[in-house]
Amino acid sequence: MNNCASCENNGMNVMSFTWFTDQEPAPNFKKIGELAKDNSSVWSCGKCGTTYYQRRGTVNDTMVSLNPAHCDSLLKWGNKTLHLAPTHKKTLKEIGGIFQGFVVGIDALTYPCRCKIKGKGWLDFCIVSFQPFAPAGFEFENAEAIYLADEVEEIEHSSFSLSREARHALEAAVERDRDFFPTILTAPDKVKFLLLNMQHFFQQGNYKAPELKVIEQWQEGGQYIKHIPDRRTITWIIMNPN
């Protein structure tokens, strides 16, 4: 029988666990939605309240813990075709996209920008992601919000976005397969910042993100200021690949 891993680990929020397709779900598991796009489902544990996205596998599936605040967006994603309005393509081309690797083993073409969301106004820390997979998993768990292509009114440059050069350097970092992206950026006053994680934005002191330049790869023992991104400030805008 498939049991809730969070319940079996003393109420801890387990990010994922194997769902055996030849076994029945425990009585407390209830299906709360279906996604036509990838023939998957969303489940809820009636005991601890954890919500899960059922990611399809070759033999068995994986239950991925889902932030309940993102459940509605995931269900909409599963039943919509989401393409970019032609008026936004010029802006994204100017910003420049990079292929970001995700835990699911699939790359998505991503663009940092500022977006105006219908009924929400302008948001400064948005990542437009052209992806074939569901917005569920580690990268999305702590996001401020998830919106879909048809909820976007306008897109423009964000003053907090790293340059295309800096984002390409992060994407190409030698340790990226271990989710470790050591890259050094320098400010006009020669202060050096160490970026250890894949990120699209920079917000620290009075430094301006577009002015930071790539100077070198990480060297052990160097004098750097670590910049750690706050995933909770990120809003994801999900679109289907063009």
pLDDT digits (tens, 9 = 90+) for 188-240: 998 989 887 788 999 988 899 999 998 766 666 667 888 887 878 899 999 99
Element (H, E) at 148: strand 145-148
Look at residue 27 in the predicted model and tell me its pLDDT.
Answer: 93
Query: 87: pLDDT confidence band, cut at 50, 70 and 90?
Result: confident
Mean pLDDT of the chain: 89
- Tokens 């420049």 correspond to 96
Strand, coil or helix: 136: coil
118 pLDDT tier (thresholds 50, 70, 90): very high
Residue 25 has φ and ψ, to the nearest 5°, of -75, 150
Query: Poorest-confidence range of 24-28, 59-63, 96-100, 181-185?
Result: 181-185
Q: Assess whether pLDDT exceeds 60 at residue 178.
A: no
Taking only the tens place, the pLDDT of each residue in 22-50 is 999 999 999 999 999 999 999 999 999 99
Distance from C-alpha of 2 to C-alpha of 23, rounded to nearest angstrom: 6
pLDDT tens digit string along 132-159? Answer: 999 999 889 999 999 999 999 999 999 9
**Nearest-angstrom CA–CA distance, 74 and 67:** 10
